[in-house]
Amino acid sequence: MKTTVLEKFLKYIQVDTMSKPEQETIPSTEKQKNLARILADELKAIGASDVRADEHAYVYGTIPATTDKKVPVLGLIAHMDTSPAYSGENVNPRFVKNYDGKTIIMNEKTGLSMGPEQYPDLLNYVGQDLITTDGTTLLGADDKAGIAEIMALAQYLLEHPEIPHGTVKIGFTPDEEVGRGPDLFDIKGFGADVAYTVDGGALGELEYENFNAASCKVMVHGLSIHPGSSKGKMKNAILMAMELHNMLPVFDNPMYTEEYEGFFHLDNISGCVESAVMDYIIRDHDMDKFLDKKAYMERAAQYMNQKYGEGTIELIMKDTYFNMKEIIQEHMYLIDIARSAMEELNIEPVIIPIRGGTDGATLSHKGLPCPNLCTGGHNFHGKFEYISVQSMERTTELLLTIVKKFEEI
């Protein structure tokens, strides 16, 4: 499994699967279908059953049970797309063998480097083998590491039918990064009773709480006129956008928050005097605080409309996903099994709230309880993304141990 997971990971990150927000179609980018076809073909080649890749780039497969014992059908899910925040095209991974704890030169031409001064977690990997980017793209460990770990497990189980286990369902989704991964996921056809997403960070992370999330598009309608004759007439949409943004609580900002603290995040802004658009994401673990944040944004818009005229500010606010905690609390044996598997492998369980979301959040609310497991990666969605080869290998062992423990239920 050790060689297999690395080979698969390096293969998958070569396929550009960056998703695109604000698209009506699923997948949001046709290129995600390229990886879907590769994965479906690979599942068929290793002997998985019921393999299909549908027209929306969802991939499904089955590892048949090798025991007559009745156990819950377990699903393992990862997403194929990479974040639109940074390019995932022409990924050129850099290998750091036996990391020495010092600064890593990621790109000799540009001088880009990464060291423990900025990223202290690097010191946890002294003596291990790291894969980084060359600084021109993200790496794609989110979530192609999860895919590689699931696929390595699938191949191992199919090559070792002597291992007793129940039915394992495999699922890969498009468009997780733009919040639409679960939208067309065929839960009934998937056929799992419960599942895990393999979409987390450092080895040992185990998560069953996540943000409640909404997107908010703020459209500002101004009035452009020659600045030489604009007194009492011009309405500068850029300035009004800045004014609205400055009404939001300063410290409810991702750069100042951690753990259970929520935020307003201005993700994109564009415009001119005549019109401006701001794209926000709104997050909070606590539902009441989440609703308060949405109401705050609406009050800010109302104030601006009262000040500058009705219709100056338009909001399009849409809920994206909700905290899975209330669902998983009814199925805590999923957490107990994963924690027990980690302890058996001498992996320290780190049970933390997700400061984001996974496909599992929405799938849980749709009837498929689905907490989240680690992949081993760090610094997702940017050029400083990296992953430990040994963490990928250990995560694959973790998945195998979980599968075995389900047979013991």
> Active-site residue numbers?
81, 176
Burial (CB count <10 Å: 0-12, 13-18, 19+), residue 289 = middle
**What is residue 205's three-state secondary structure?**
strand
Do 243 and 305 meet the contact criterion of CB atoms below 8 Å apart? no
Helix axes 389-407, 141-159, angle to 10 degrees: 50
For residue 136, how many other CB atoms are within 10 A of its CB? 17
CA 217, CA 268: separation in Å to the nearest integer?
Answer: 10
**For the CA atoms of 113, 117, 118, 122, what is the dihedral angle to 10 degrees?**
80
Do the Cβ atoms of 225 and 233 come closer than 8 Å? yes
Radius of gyration of the CA atoms of the chain, in A: 23
Residues pairing with 271 in the sheet: 276
Query: Omega of the bond prior to 143 within 30 degrees of 0, cis?
Result: yes
Cα 97 from chain centroid? Answer: 27
Residue 78: which of 408, 405, 401, 395 has the closest Cα? 395
The rounded distance, in Å, linking the Cα atoms of 292 and 314 is 19
CA 337 to chain centre: 23
